Chains A and B, each alone.
Chain A
């Protein structure tokens, strides 16, 4: 890791005013410091926002809920109101990484962590995402990589929180000293590799996430998230699924199905959602949705097993959300 200076800020204004000359925001630092230790980034100026109190905490509002971006994953998953009304978010934050990491990791940082790919994250390999002109994963070791919507870079979306927040239709408030505030949906936050390989999110260097707004769920909403890894203790997802069901009696009025480890950017599966809308939730409809979730997938040389795994993740999480199946012991964490 390189030497760097660090500016410790306690207010949003102070932090924003420091965001110049290639300064990089550090929240929990879990992802940022990993990137620096792996030698793939050498920022010389860090702005520590970890102690900006106004950006931390959960507020219940008439419209739903506002999450300060510095709220930790542990705080979110332990919050009673979230466990009751936003199960998908409690699940996602409570099953990411390890208990230690969840105490450090902030939800804002979680959304903005870089993609998972061991080539991208190694200083020994310089790929598209580092501004070079090749990808090592297609012809290399790609068992954990994407199976769909990858274009030139089959890395996978790493954020569990994003899978949940996309399912809940959350938006993110961004603030810059010069341009003021703007609000974006979760999906709009990310840039697909083909659009700009070296820019992972739309956030500009002088911008901060200052709030995450989660709308109030419609009546009858039930939700869940499950993550499948190779191991149960602190592994990255090889498949995961977020499910939000708006139920009217036994019938699902509207379903949202989201996936992380299938593609470089978190995605919704319109096909899977369509398979549930207007139908009762049972093993048959859930499995049908699962199958459709990987429709059109084009696996790489070593990850065809994900075509089996994602349908399982989706159908079991649909049944879990509907209260028709227990939490899956095979889902990690």
Chain B
């Protein structure tokens, strides 16, 4: 058999990766599209044209598993039923700060149906003391009400719950603080007896390590560019504002949880997770067993938003109980536990100052930020201030404030909704002071080429054109206003992204990756890529994901999944197709170079061979299957196009008597490289807008200041938008080619609206009323107080 070029290239790569030069589309079609040159590994597939010239990729293909989900046939973790399975229930701390004197489980052990009891020795998630000797306790110190202490496994969930109530914990209580402003007071009770740091997760979260700590203040973490003192001296105008945002919990529909099945040589864990590989690593590490002895499965996942990385306390405890009892153990959290112990979006308290020249050139951005991530860290929110605008000088200080509350975790664009809430309102303030249109000011201060296009789209929209530039112009108690805000997010690549493509002799196609589909639709996109490569409809591709038995996939945090994994899938599909053509060419009496795969057919350039269907061609394979595994190669030009974002416009009605803000319409203009499946991308953005409005207007984790206990740990008094609060959302996807990979996809989950919508709403409220609201959530109480303070209340 003659060696085909692809084979040559594959062999050559092993020695010194051969390169080829390609021309790639870069920019926004209709606005800035041009070609750029990239030098890429010779094994890379041909460059794809822009979406309009592709058949399956870039099309709004229906969700691969949509029907299963709509019919309730998709199996989520809580649906997993194993023979002999036990149900576990946590025993949680009832006080916010205490040393634990004793934990008496004897009554619980005797309760009918109870099969196992586990007392937690290492609690996960909380920040850890740099010097652990400062806490020489037998049991983990309680740092918040709701911290898991022990767990019971029983034959029914009811028995587990009733037995859990029989566990007697003796506390030696300590003074506590749950108010993040009071916690900054030097006299406030200390949450930790010394400096402590929190490890982040794959999804971000966690704060800087090793920074100074004074009392409960962990920080500052300082970031400087240029001379900010000089920057303010150079300014013609300076604006400053104090912004406060609340703690939000992730509140995914599906709570955290696992079903763990410990067998002597294999621990199988069904997990609701954003990272099968991370759960596997944490369990292997915790129990000191080889990775090969742990298998993690996530068939379907009901939402994570950043809080579901690693095994966490539920995973470790369920595995320990399964090991002890010899039976599979299910441990799903209830809604209260979900609010308390598995993460949240930290609060923020920011003083932001911006200096500018008369023409809108920014001379200085200065941010002092505090925020609480409970007994964890990660409340930094300077990302937007650091990365959205290029001011001549920049000074940001971020501080974590410890309080006796559950540790934060990454949450959809960590720090950014908070940071943008302050930054984009301050920019709006600045525009007023400069007597400039807010959109013109952004044109001046923001050099990002794609956002420039996005602003152009906004300018041309009916919605923006209908904006009255005069704030508070409407007569009557209900006032309409329109505002905009911008977002920024980053291009992160997960190099731990692998996939395998198999072609079978019957013409069926399979693609495998350990990646989990957390609802954003990677299954569908993987099918689309194979469909594009082999010319068969996506519905005919078998997609196997969410299992660590498959090649390791990326963990879904930082908006990495689609952009990291799709080039791998395409590379594997392409290389498999080349192997396939090489394999069948002799049987067809030609060479691989003469064959192409188009529209589900194998065709010959030379015309020597009449077109035959892919299925018939497959029957000519000399082996039963052709399998190719690929891994992520670095971005083609990793120094370029590091951020992306969008522009969101909100139209609100403010009832100035009732204090109600009603968001009527949202225009959301966003880029994410090549949108692989616009329907799914738009769905992500809709979700981001909705979650962002919910944060801006309603959600609030409320802790009683005197008792340190959450008063609204449900979904009734912890208020989340319902159907009536959801505006008409008009998403305009901007194709923004970057020339970075064989699919040129980017991420969208975090840039998607959630960063900017809060500030857009607040700017719209200002436009409606002439009053700026610098607090979230903007409930009627907050709105009425703000209107009253500025004498703008009607009646």
Contacts and interface: CB of A to CB of B under 8 A. Distances in A.
Contacts of B712: 118
B161 interface: yes
A333 B780 CA distance: 16
A122 B644 CA distance: 45
A139 B706 contact: yes
Contact of B158 (A3, A141, A328): A3
Interface string A122-155: 1011000000000010011101100000000000
Contacts of A3: 158, 162
A238 interface: yes
A188 interface: no
Interface in B697-718: 697-698, 702, 704-707, 709, 711-712, 716-717
B725 interface: yes
B707 A125 contact: yes
B722 A305 contact: no
Contact of B793 (A303, A308, A330): A308
A142 to B, nearest CB: 10
Contacts of A313: 658
B784 interface: yes
A96 to B, nearest CB: 13
Contact of B702 (A141, A228, A236, A329): A141
Nearest to A116: B717
A190 interface: no
A41 interface: no
Contacts of A308: 657, 659, 784, 788, 793
A265 B141 CA distance: 43
A63 interface: no
A140 B711 CA distance: 10
A12 B705 CA distance: 48
Nearest to A121: B717
A124 B94 contact: yes
B775 interface: no
Nearest to A123: B94
Given A125-B707, A312-B657, A233 B781 contact: no
Interface string A98-128: 0000000000000000000011001011000
A233 B725 contact: yes
Interface in A291-316: 302-303, 305, 308-309, 311-313
B662 interface: yes
Contact of A1 (B161, B705, B719, B723): B161
B795 interface: yes
A305 B784 contact: yes
Nearest to B159: A3
Contact of A305 (B705, B785, B795): B785
Interface in B761-795: 779-781, 784-785, 788, 793, 795
B660 interface: yes
A230 B704 contact: no
Contact of A231 (B655, B659, B724): B724
Contacts of A287: 795
A8 interface: no
Contact of A233 (B702, B724, B780, B785): B724
Contacts of B724: 231-233, 332-333
A118 B718 CA distance: 11
Interface in A213-264: 228, 230-236, 238
Of B158, B702, B795, most A-chain CB atoms within 10 Å: B795
Contact of B707 (A124, A143, A230): A124
Contact of B709 (A124, A230, A231, A236): A124
A116 to B, nearest CB: 9
B780 A230 contact: yes
A143 B781 contact: yes
B709 A125 contact: yes
A2 interface: yes
Contacts of B780: 228, 230, 238, 305, 309
Contacts of A136: 704, 706-707
A118 B719 contact: no
A184 to B, nearest CB: 30
A228 B659 CA distance: 10
B721 interface: yes
Nearest to A303: B781
Contacts of A125: 704, 707, 709
Contacts of B788: 308
Contact of B722 (A143, A234, A312, A330): A234
A308 B785 CA distance: 10
Contacts of B725: 231-233
A140 B705 contact: yes
Contact of A312 (B658, B704, B779): B658
Of B161, B724, B781, most A-chain CB atoms within 10 Å: B781
Contacts of B161: 1
Nearest to A329: B662
A3 B111 CA distance: 14
Nearest to B726: A233
B711 A118 contact: yes
A140 B709 CA distance: 11
Contacts of A233: 721-725
Contacts of A118: 711-712, 717
A118 B713 CA distance: 10
Of B657, B712, B717, B785, most A-chain CB atoms within 10 Å: B657
A330 B795 CA distance: 16
A28 to B, nearest CB: 16
Contacts of A122: 709, 711
A230 B698 contact: yes
B721 A309 contact: no
B94 A330 contact: no
Contact of A230 (B702, B779, B795): B779
A1 B702 CA distance: 24
Interface string B136-170: 00000000010000000000001001100000000
B673 to A, nearest CB: 35
Interface of A: 1-3, 118-119, 122, 124-125, 136, 139-141, 143-144, 228, 230-236, 238, 287, 302-303, 305, 308-309, 311-313, 328-330, 332-333
Q: Which 7 residue pairs are nearest across A and B when measured between Cβ atoms?
A: A233-B722, A232-B724, A305-B781, A330-B658, A118-B711, A330-B660, A330-B655
Given A119-B711, A234-B722, A329-B653, 19 more contacts: A118-B711, A119-B704, A124-B707, A125-B707, A125-B709, A136-B706, A140-B704, A140-B705, A140-B706, A140-B711, A141-B702, A143-B779, A228-B660, A302-B781, A303-B781, A305-B659, A308-B788, A311-B795, A330-B478
10 contacts: A2-B162, A3-B162, A119-B711, A124-B94, A139-B706, A230-B697, A232-B725, A234-B722, A305-B784, A333-B724
